[in-house]
Homo-oligomer: A and B are copies of this chain.
Amino acid sequence: MANIRDIAKYADVSVTTVSRVLNEHPYVSKEKRERVRQAMAELGYLRNQQALTLSTGRTQRFVVVLPYLDHPYYGLFVNGLAKAALQRDYRLVMWQTEYQLDQERQALDLLKHREVDGAILLSHTMSFDEMEMYRQFGPIAVATVGAPETISSVHVDHYAAFVAGLNVLAQAGYIEIGIVLSRQDSPSSIARQQAYFDEVELARERWVWTGYLTSEDGIRLADEFLRQQERPRALFFSSDYVALGFLGELRRRCVRIPDEVAILGFDGHPIGQAFGLSTMYSPNEDIGRTLFDVTFEEMNGATSITNSLTVTYLPGTTL
């Protein structure tokens, strides 16, 4: 495989000149430029990206950290990231953590070893204190709330978002409301519970279901829900997928919705709309796009930012 020096020799110019042609530097005469072009064509020159990377110190890669690559919740974020990355000619190295702290550390170690230019965390169990130690090795952006000043954050304020959702339910006349959350101890779940107990007069511990992540969990919940004696009249889910599983199972059992139980989802994924799910729309694709842009800008010297977004009600037929 021909390298830049072979080209230089073949075209009888210096390697500097070849490099200048590659980078479209203006200070090359037409003749030499042409000779170099010719040489590259004849020898089938292909620029070695690794050498470029070592030389410039830029990898053109970000690592994207998320618990599960195939969880639909992250789909729209990733989509936004991918679109932004394509525009900037950047690559995304995906890193699945399965909520394991050591996997998050491994992902951020890529930053340390200059294998990527920056890191984007869609979810994390690592403390911000620990995360900040990695900050010196490159920009870090998160999709979660509570990041310190050095770490960029683009997220929805889950407290405010839940307040908004609960207000939608209240305005629709629902008083007995339950909520369905994912991991019990995650910061967003804590914020959501806070909102629930702050806003809902008839809030009950027993009406807070935690540990529901997937559609399958939603189906399981349907069973548990129907078994219960005293049931809320409306359920506010923190995920459309769980809500959909619940909805599908109830419909299968011919439970009337929203007459017997109203459902409000959270996310606004197209699939939810397709099933008529009423939901709180969260601009996840935008968040993904912005996360990329922020990280990119920060790499070029911009300062980190915090951007808190709000959600809007997306009516369906389940409320």
- Residue contact A214 to B92, C-beta cutoff 8 Å: no
Measured between alpha carbons, how far is A91 from B107 in the docked complex, in Å? Answer: 10
A residues touching B (Cβ–Cβ < 8 Å)? 46-51, 53-54, 57, 59, 61, 68-70, 72, 74-76, 78-79, 82, 86, 91-96, 110, 112-115, 214-216, 219, 245, 248-249, 251-252, 254, 270-271, 274-276
The one of B78, B91, B249 that contacts A70, using a Cβ cutoff of 8 Å: B78
Measured between alpha carbons, how far is A219 from B59 in the docked complex, in Å? Answer: 43
Question: Majority SS of interface residues in chain A?
Answer: helix
Measured between alpha carbons, how far is A93 from B248 in the docked complex, in Å? Answer: 35
- Residue contact B54 to A51, C-beta cutoff 8 Å: yes
Give 18 A-B pairs besides A69-B79, A245-B274 with Cβ atoms closer than 8 angstroms: A46-B112, A48-B54, A49-B115, A50-B54, A50-B115, A69-B78, A69-B82, A70-B76, A79-B96, A92-B93, A93-B93, A94-B94, A216-B271, A216-B274, A219-B275, A245-B275, A248-B248, A252-B276
Measured between alpha carbons, how far is A86 from B57 in the docked complex, in Å? Answer: 25
Measured between alpha carbons, how far is A61 from B92 in the docked complex, in Å? Answer: 11
Measured between alpha carbons, how far is A66 from B270 in the docked complex, in Å? Answer: 20
* Closest B residue by C-beta to A94: B94
- Residue contact B48 to A113, C-beta cutoff 8 Å: yes
Which residues in B have their C-beta under 8 angstroms from that of A245?
271, 274-275
Which residues in B have their C-beta under 8 angstroms from that of A46?
112-114
Measured between alpha carbons, how far is A245 from B114 in the docked complex, in Å? Answer: 44
- Residue contact A252 to B271, C-beta cutoff 8 Å: no
Which residues in B have their C-beta under 8 angstroms from that of A274?
215-216, 219, 245
**With A93-B61, A276-B252 in contact, do A50 and B48 touch (Cβ < 8 Å)?**
no
Chain B nearest CB from A89 CB (Å) reads 9
Which residues in B have their C-beta under 8 angstroms from that of A48?
54, 113-114
Which residues in B have their C-beta under 8 angstroms from that of A96?
79, 82, 86
